[in-house]
């Protein structure tokens, strides 16, 4: 019942279409040819699942296993390392999983119930700031029954818990190689996923080969994958055109997507696969900052930002304006920011400030990361600066940093206003509200709002029918508008660009918008 109901919340991420190039190609190539190279501008910030609540999941999904996961074509969690999983009570407070027999880590260690317990417990013990411990707020304790059964005792009802277990953050790690009280930092991985990480050069590339001991749902259609990390999309697209890589994912600019779609003559042999995504971009305001900490300043910014202009100028149809932290296609979506602020209006923004006694232009620094969300991020923030300064109400300074530096900065509360992106952990409205509120907000900026955390979220998590939680999330979004601690900007589409001889792109993205590398394969001519 729970899984069937979740279909309502996931339909939007299942629509895929190939927009170019069909050749006379067969569906498979020889075993020796099945080595695939994929480019991305989103390199891992960590190799340890206990620290990962970001794009690092891309690599982790392919080298680790979770108890449940999303097989290709599935919109709800199904067993992976587990043989079976289920709630064992009627209140969604006890979730039990039985492991498949004979599972081993790549170092030869046996995977048993104690290894699963160890993996989850260390996430909570290490509790990396801005890390995945925030996903486990409902978990009270993990119990084992013999070698093959794990029981998750929840401190409060949480019908979304199977979805949480399906995230790469909940990957099962080898106790012998991962310290219980600190992050592993030797640049290596010990997992039981479809691939083994043979070598890794931070910011450069990851070499994956088939894991011979793997027992899971993934039907690997290639023998090896090289993931190349680019600091900018321009050389990545050039590498695709020069056939140095076979496919790209994450980081294409709007101009590059449009160019690849429209200029067929110069891009012969390439294809674009479009996915209706649930990824969002938003601004985070630091309440400790002298300017951003003032509600009238935040409200004035919300009154000025022109999302239509932002999307038209920077993203050229590859994104759409977003007026809620819950995007279109997810149950509970509203247009709450538009309902409250309407169209951009400098006169209204000025009145908000003057009514609060603010009569001089507000000096504000906006931060963004240079290498996490693609090359369009810099022009996006340039457009935000232009809009705010055109009103005469703000003087904006733009600052940027690579992701690893940027992440350290915002988790320390060093930035007044900064841009964040969110690719969903799972396609449910809970995942677009809960991570951003509470003392352990994934933004690194605590946002305590008792009505959301103590009333609305607990109430919604008692509902196994996820299509019936709209009222709770409508009210939650109203609160976010009242506080303006987060300002949604746009909702994107996802694109995989690949050579015409590469198949599987339309099946490669799971409901978490994580690329399943095993779906990619090289076709051969008849």
Q: What is the DSSP string of 368-433?
A: EESSSS-TTHHHHHHHHHHHHHHTTSEEEEEEEE-HHHHHHHHHTT--SEEEEEE--SSSSGGGGT
Number of H helices, E strands in the chain: 16, 22
Helical pair 254-262 and 233-241, crossing angle rounded to 10 deg: 20
pLDDT averaged over consecutive 10-residue blocks of the chain (526 residues)? 31 34 43 84 94 92 95 80 93 94 96 98 94 91 98 93 94 97 96 97 97 94 97 94 93 86 78 83 97 98 97 90 92 93 98 98 97 88 98 98 94 96 86 91 92 93 80 95 98 90 90 88 73
Asked if residues 478 and 489 have their Cβ atoms less than 8 Å apart, the reply is no
pLDDT number for residue 2: 28
Asked if residues 357 and 370 have their Cβ atoms less than 8 Å apart, the reply is no
Main-chain dihedrals φ then ψ at residue 468, nearest 5 degrees: -110, 20
Main-chain dihedrals φ then ψ at residue 521, nearest 5 degrees: -150, 160
Three-state DSSP state, 325: coil
pLDDT number for residue 276: 67
pLDDT tens digits along 466-495 = 777 889 999 999 999 999 999 999 998 888
What is the CB neighbour count within 10 angstroms for residue 290?
12
CA dihedral for 324, 328, 334, 337, sign (positive or negative): positive
Q: Which residues pair with 85 in a beta bridge?
A: 97
Q: Could you give the C-alpha distances from 29 to 63, 185, 208, 515, in angstroms and in order?
A: 24, 38, 19, 21
pLDDT number for residue 59: 97
pLDDT number for residue 32: 52
Residue 478: half-sphere exposure toward Cβ, Cα within 13 Å: 8
The span from the CA of 101 to the CA of 288, in Å, is 52
Main-chain dihedrals φ then ψ at residue 262, nearest 5 degrees: -90, -30
Question: Element (H or E) spanning 3, and its range?
Answer: helix 2-5
pLDDT number for residue 427: 78
Name the token pair of 91: 């209140």
Strands 224-229 and 205-210, by their bridges, are antiparallel
Tell me which DSSP letter residue 136 carries: G
The span from the CA of 375 to the CA of 169, in Å, is 26
Q: Please, what is the end-to-end C-alpha distance for the chain in angstroms?
A: 46
Residue 428: half-sphere exposure toward Cβ, Cα within 13 Å: 34
pLDDT tens digits along 268-285 = 889 998 876 788 999 999
pLDDT number for residue 443: 92
Global pTM value: 0.74
Q: Which residues pair with 16 in a beta bridge?
A: 275
Residue 173: half-sphere exposure toward Cβ, Cα within 13 Å: 25
What is the CB neighbour count within 10 angstroms for residue 356?
14
pLDDT number for residue 19: 37
The span from the CA of 180 to the CA of 290, in Å, is 39
pLDDT number for residue 314: 93
C-alpha dihedral (234, 236, 239, 245), degrees to nearest 10? -170
The span from the CA of 422 to the CA of 283, in Å, is 11
Strands 494-499 and 247-249, by their bridges, are antiparallel
The span from the CA of 256 to the CA of 260, in Å, is 6
Q: Which residues pair with 438 in a beta bridge?
A: 447
Three-state DSSP state, 22: coil
Q: Could you give the C-alpha distances from 23 to 259, 262, 267, 502, 526, in angstroms and in order?
A: 21, 18, 14, 11, 10
Spell 104-119 as b/e; 16+ CB within 10 A means b.
ebbeebebbbebbbbb
Main-chain dihedrals φ then ψ at residue 51, nearest 5 degrees: -110, 0
C-alpha 130, offset from chain centre: 13
């Amino acid at each position: 019942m729970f899984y069937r109901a979740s279909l309502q919340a996931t339909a939007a991420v299942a629509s895929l279409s190939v927009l170019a190039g069909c050749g006379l190609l067969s569906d498979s190539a020889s075993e020796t040819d099945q080595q695939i190279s994929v480019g991305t501008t989103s390199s891992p910030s960590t190799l340890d699942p206990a620290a990962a609540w970001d794009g690092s999941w891309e690599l982790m999904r392919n080298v680790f296993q979770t108890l449940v996961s999303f097989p290709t074509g599935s919109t709800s969690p199904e067993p992976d390392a587990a043989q079976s999983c289920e709630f064992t009570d009627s209140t969604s407070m006890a979730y039990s999983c039985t492991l498949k027999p004979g599972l081993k880590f790549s170092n030869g260690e046996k995977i048993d119930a104690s290894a699963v317990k160890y993996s989850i417990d260390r996430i909570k013990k290490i509790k990396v700031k801005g890390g995945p411990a925030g996903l486990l707020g409902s978990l009270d304790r993990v119990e084992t029954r013999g070698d093959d059964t794990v029981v998750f005792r929840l401190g409060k009802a949480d019908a979304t818990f199977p979805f949480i277990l399906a995230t790469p953050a909940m990957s099962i790690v080898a106790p012998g190689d991962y310290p219980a009280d600190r992050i592993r930092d030797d640049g290596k991985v010990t997992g039981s996923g479809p691939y083994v990480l043979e070598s890794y050069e931070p910011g450069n590339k990851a070499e994956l080969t088939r894991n011979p001991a793997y027992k899971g749902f993934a039907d690997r259609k290639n023998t090896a994958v090289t993931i190349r990390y680019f600091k900018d999309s321009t050389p990545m697209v050039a590498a695709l055109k020069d056939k140095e890589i076979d496919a790209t994912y994450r980081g294409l600019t709007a101009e590059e997507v449009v160019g690849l779609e429209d200029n067929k003559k110069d891009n012969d042999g390439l294809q674009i696969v479009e996915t209706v995504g649930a990824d969002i971009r938003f601004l985070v305001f630091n309440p400790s900052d002298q300017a951003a900490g003032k509600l009238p300043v935040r409200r004035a910014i919300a009154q000025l930002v022109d999302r239509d202009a932002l999307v038209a100028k920077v993203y050229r149809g590859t994104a759409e304006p977003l007026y809620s932290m819950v995007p279109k296609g997810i149950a509970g979506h509203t247009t709450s920011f538009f309902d409250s602020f309407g169209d951009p209006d400098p006169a209204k923004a000025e009145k908000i400030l003057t009514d609060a006694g603010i009569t001089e232009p507000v000096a504000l620094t906006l931060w963004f990361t240079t290498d996490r969300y693609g090359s369009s991020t810099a022009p996006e923030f340039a457009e935000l600066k232009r809009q705010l300064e055109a009103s005469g109400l703000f003087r904006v300074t733009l600052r940027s940093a690579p992701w690893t530096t940027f992440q350290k900065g915002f988790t320390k509360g060093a930035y007044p206003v900064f841009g964040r992106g969110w690719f969903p952990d799972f396609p449910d409205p809970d995942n677009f509200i809960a991570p951003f509120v509470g003392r352990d907000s994934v933004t690194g900026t605590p946002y305590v709002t008792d009505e959301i955390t103590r009333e609305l979220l607990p109430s919604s998590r008692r509902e196994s029918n996820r299509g019936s939680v709209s009222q709770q999330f409508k009210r939650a979004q109203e609160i976010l508008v009242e506080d303006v601690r987060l300002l949604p900007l746009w909702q994107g589409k996802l694109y995989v660009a690949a050579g015409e001889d590469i198949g599987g792109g339309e099946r490669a993205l799971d409901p978490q918008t994580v690329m399943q590398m095993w779906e990619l394969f090289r076709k051969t001519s008849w």
